[in-house]
Chain A
Amino acid sequence: MAQMTMIQAITDAMRLELARDPKVLVFGEDVGVNGGVFRATAGLQEQFGEQRVFDTPLAESGIGGLAVGLAVQGFRPVAEIQFFGFVFEAFDAVASQAARLRYRSGGRYHAPIVFRSPFGGGVKTPELHADSLEGLFAQTPGLKVVIPSNPYDAKGLLISAIRDDDPVIFLEHMKLYRSFRQEVPEGDYTVPLGKAAVVRPGKDVTVITYGAMVQTSLTAADKVAESRGAQVEVIDLRTVSPIDIETVVESVKKTNRAVVVQEAQRKAGVAAEVAAQINERAILHLEAPVIRVTSPDTVYPFAAIEDQWLPTVGRVVKAIEDVLDF
């Protein structure tokens, strides 16, 4: 076991998969000699050579198309989009091409591609670096969307994503890259895609969340336990498409109350989908409406006001109290 940050765990996952499977290729803008703008691919080109880990021209659509073409040729591309706000340049390649390749060809071809990309607020980035756009891809049939919240999950989920035979969007929250260390096993292990984790057991209310909001929700749960002795169960979705509805519904049937917390704007993200699923599958178990804590429906904030715009511990505490007192 080693103490790793999330970024180190991500590098470790790519290193292990590059060594294990010669079909794995890592490419993107500045991922080669430079080792990535966040050091995610540091040392990989040196270890595996320019044929396996390489830089591309500065063109996201080209990167997406390159990944699709390489997948058609039997490779397993791990393509990096430098910041997820730039994914619109590659939207066709990801959503209309990679996501549909298996279906369009009736199974003749498939796209075992991982699109890795940093996103997320709280680190005062310039425009279009931090936006939470996972909802767009969660709405696209043919994709899986994975968002780890800690180093252990990041490594296990990324290894699973690379081994998955269908395209996976792997979103890495920038604030979590180096914010804490965690025990991470050496060597390979997997965390299954499509499986949520109950990261804090409780019996009074369920908080369903993902990404950086997992930490925010855990802190809020502690505060509610302190202030009024309520036991909050926190579920980290880990994969936001497909959502692990079974784990969510099972928890809600136990606690009878639910809050969904996401960093994305209210009309974005996947909170509405989680609430709708609970409504369809567990309404007779609910003692209160399912409440969402989200960012407001504006464009992502200017850096100086980011901390007021993003969901805070206080807003999550308030939502939990509201459903408890409904």
Chain B
Amino acid sequence: MGVLLDERTPYEPVRILAEDGTVVNPELMPDLSDDQLRELMHRMVFTRVWDQRAIALNRQGRLGFYAPVAGQEASMLASHYALNKDDFLLPSYRDIPQLVFHGLPLYQAFLYSRGHIHGGQIPEDVSALMPQIIIAAQCTQLAGVALGIKLRGERRVAIAYFGDGATSQGDFYEGMNFAGVFKVPAIFFSQNNRYAISVPVSKQTAAKTLVQKSVAAGISGVQVDGMDPLAVYRVTKEAADRARAGEGPVMIESLTYRYGPHTMAGDDPTRYRTNEELGEWERQDPLIRFRAFLQGKGLWSEQEEEAAIEETKQTIADALKKADEYMSKQTVGDLIDAMYAELPPELKEQKALFAAGEGR
């Protein structure tokens, strides 16, 4: 008889809403008021419209780097909705919506997209880092931010967002492992949208789930239906409550999907996934599901959605205008000034040369 163990997969995604908006697990229903439920829907509609506009604006050359988010609204916004204003966010480059709802002004998000220094100047009252380009670097930083919170004795939580591909990085494992050893209030939130650019999750790992990787760090883990806003909210809230109570970090795997390309820099998803698959995930659209649920409770109407869409378009137009006003305001001198608290002589010299138009 062999002594090797076969892989065991005890994880089943937590789900509250079925695709048609009916409640399948009423005992898990989170404690959200009618106003809160509508606000969450409002945020999801806002983000869907924003995504459509951002893609169009990118094609017109009015935005730069942009990573589409359509399909991930429940995963992104319901998880963020479970956090407090003073909780600390470590977003990846795709997690701009959470950053904006955490307090980053939209025009700054647009400036980040265009590549402007002001895009990264997170306001003082917003507890967040800038979007992280290096995949999973935010995971080791999360351990540090959360340790800082713990050492200060604060009842705050830190959360890092990253994708499925990130779970193959060493920093993902190191971050979870450090967080486990130090038992810090950290949430590792993996948005498994099935693809890292063109590479399917089956080519990232032979593990049947991503959440089981939390076992290697000895921390809690949960898998959630990432197209179900109530389930995402429920698991994130519980993770945050536990972390706040000093019970250590949690990894969440949110099963979601991006309808669009990886980024707007030329990725064509038809090369690596089928229309059938896309259609299957579109049937699970978190907006359809949540809309049906809210309409069933008499909390949402077509008029309300129309109003939300119009309002979003206006907000975006205003933010773009403000971003445009900043575009002339960025000099090489600003970049030099941002390098150190006190400039070394060579940078002072280079700054003077650029100011005089003599940079070389």
Provide the residues of chain B in CB contact with A142, threshold 8 Å: 339-340
Contact of A62 among B140, B151, B334, B339 (CB under 8 A): B140
**Interface status of B139 (Cβ within 8 A of chain A):** yes
- Of A91-99, A124-132, A308-316, the one contacting chain B is A91-99
Contact (Cβ within 8 A) A69 B143: yes
Interface presence of B346 (CB below 8 A): yes
Annotate B139-154 by CB proximity to A: 1 below 8 A, 0 otherwise: 1111111111101100
Interface-lining segment among B32-40, B70-78, B173-181: B173-181
Question: Chain B contacts of A103 at CB under 8 A?
Answer: 335, 338-339
Cα(A108)–Cα(B339), bound, Å: 12
Q: Let me know if B174 and A106 touch, CB within 8 A.
A: no
Interface assignment of B134: CB less than 8 Å from any CB of chain A: yes
Interface size of A by Cβ–Cβ distance < 8 Å?
41
Given A69-B148, A106-B121, are A61 and B346 also a contact pair (CB < 8 Å)?
no
- Given the interface pairs A61-B170, A65-B175, the reply to whether A242 lies near B144 with Cβ below 8 Å is no
Cα distance A189–B62 in the bound complex, in angstroms: 54
Whether the Cβ atoms of A110 and B129 lie closer than 8 Å is: no
Contact with B along A1-32 (1 / 0, CB 8 A): 00000000000000000000000010000000
Say yes or no for B61: interface residue by CB 8 A criterion.
no
* Residue from A25, A51, A102 in contact with B340 in the complex, judged by beta carbons closer than 8 Å: A102
B120 at the interface (CB under 8 A from A): yes
B341 near A93 with CB under 8 A, answer: no
Q: Are A93 and B338 in contact (CB under 8 A)?
A: no
> Is B120 in contact with A62, judged by CB distance below 8 angstroms?
no
Asked if A165 is an interface residue, CB under 8 A from chain B, the answer is yes
Beta-carbon contacts under 8 Å, B249-273 to A: none
| Across-interface contacts of B121 in A (CB, < 8 A) | 105-108
Given A96-B134, A102-B338, A108-B120, decide whether A75 and B140 contact each other with a Cβ distance below 8 A: no
A68 near B: Cβ within 8 Å?
A: yes
Interface residues of A in 176-227 (CB under 8 A from B): 194
Which residues of the other chain, B, contact A321 by a CB distance below 8 angstroms?
none
Please tell me if B130 contacts chain A, counting CB pairs below 8 Å: yes
A136 at interface, CB cutoff 8 A = no
Minimum CB–CB distance from A61 to chain B (whole Å) comes to: 6
B146-188 vs A, CB cutoff 8 Å, 1 = contact: the mask equals 1111011000001000000000001100110110010000000
Q: Is the CB of A73 within 8 A of B144?
A: yes
- Cross-interface CB contact of B151 among A51, A61, A109, cutoff 8 Å: A51
The reply to whether B140 and A65 form a contact with Cβ atoms under 8 Å apart is: yes
Flag whether B117 is at the interface (Cβ < 8 A).
yes
**With A105-B120, A106-B121 as contacts: A97 and B145 at CB distance below 8 Å:** no
Interface pair A245/B134, CB less than 8 Å apart: no
Report the minimum CB–CB distance from B14 to chain A (whole Å). Answer: 28
Chain B residues numbered 111-151 whose CB sits less than 8 Å from any CB in chain A: 117-118, 120-122, 124, 129-130, 134, 137, 139-149, 151
**When A61-B171, A66-B140, A242-B345 are in contact, do A73 and B148 touch as well, CB less than 8 Å?**
yes
Query: In the assembled complex, how far is the CB of residue A30 from the closest CB belonging to chain B, in whole angstroms?
Result: 15
Q: In terms of DSSP, what is the predominant structure of the interface of chain B?
A: helix
The chain A residue with its CB closest to the CB of B347 is: A242
- A35 contacts the other chain (CB 8 A): no
- The verdict on B2 contacting chain A, using a C-beta distance below 8 Å, is no
How many interface residues does B have (CB within 8 Å)? Answer: 42
Q: Is A270 an interface residue (CB 8 A)?
A: no
Does B140 lie within 8 Å of A105, measured CB to CB? Answer: no
Inter-subunit contact B339/A97 (CB<8 Å): no
* Chain B hits for A108, CB < 8 A: 120-122, 124
* Closest Cβ–Cβ distance, residue A281 to chain B (whole Å): 11
Chain B residue with the shortest CB-CB distance to A109:
B129
A118 at the interface (CB under 8 A from B): no
| Bound complex: CA A69 to CA B334 (Å) | 25
Docked complex Cα distance between A197 and B195 (Å): 56
Most chain B Cβ neighbours within 10 Å, of A103, A109, A194, A245 = A103
Is A267 part of the binding interface, using a Cβ–Cβ cutoff of 8 Å? no
* Distance from A259 Cβ to chain B, minimum over Cβ atoms (Å): 22
| Candidate in B120, B124, B141, B149 with the most chain A CB atoms within 10 angstroms | B141
B339's partner among A75, A109, A141, A164 (CB-CB below 8 A) is A141
| CB nearest neighbor in B for A99 | B339
| Interface residues in A57-74 (C-beta closer than 8 Å to B) | 57, 59, 61-62, 64-74
Tell me the minimal C-beta distance from A132 to chain B in angstroms: 22
**Docked complex Cα distance between A153 and B339 (Å):** 26
Q: B344 in the interface, Cβ–Cβ < 8 Å?
A: yes
Whether B178 contacts A56 by the Cβ 8 Å rule is yes
Nearest residue (CB) in B for A77 is B144
Do the beta carbons of B174 and A61 come within 8 Å of each other? yes
A307 contacts the other chain (Cβ, under 8 Å)? no
Instruction: Show the binding face of B for A, using Cβ within 8 Å.
Output: 117-118, 120-122, 124, 129-130, 134, 137, 139-149, 151-152, 158, 170-171, 174-175, 177-178, 181, 334-335, 337-341, 344-347
13 interchain pairs (CB within 8 A)?
Answer: A61-B171, A61-B174, A62-B171, A65-B140, A65-B171, A66-B141, A70-B144, A71-B144, A92-B171, A96-B137, A102-B338, A106-B338, A108-B120
Report which A residues bind B (CB closer than 8 A): 25, 51, 56-57, 59, 61-62, 64-75, 92-93, 96-97, 102-110, 141-142, 164-166, 194, 242, 245-246
The 7 closest A-B pairs by CB, nearest first: A69-B144, A65-B140, A73-B148, A242-B344, A62-B174, A106-B121, A69-B145
